[in-house]
Chains A and B, each alone.
Chain A
């Protein structure tokens, strides 16, 4: 059975304190791994898609990496506006459903 596990569940950071979020997955035939950001009461906002082990993508203070069993989302020098829940999701088929992890809630304090 496909599984997506994110850790830690919650993370409290000081502004400027870099850290990493983990997403470990088991899926038969990974088509893509996705990172989304979700603010309270809002829909998931797309950040990155990763397709194969070794791939990296960056956007502002965020960098996502992928291995055969897990993905990391690195937050470099975070700011309070980076506070959100970060969701990881896997897709096994083209145009197929996303299977989400439970998310990591990140709070960045000034």
Chain B
């Protein structure tokens, strides 16, 4: 059945390194969301796209984070340079945007920055 996929599932990196997380939304969905989950902050919305255009990235630290949708089947979230405080689980979700706010979440990327 249709699912949101995310790669990698786990990433361990050292402070200062670039990290790229990828998401493949469900085919036909036109809205894509990036969330971050930590024990302290819970689930937070970082950015979202509609029809590949960024609509809101106010939840994202602009100096080091960037989100893009090179095409309708790929969304990326990059952190450069990474810091230990970026350690979290990053979830991608997609939605059809057809009058419902039902979102389908991927399994997440668990990022550890040493």
Q: Do A and B assemble together?
A: no
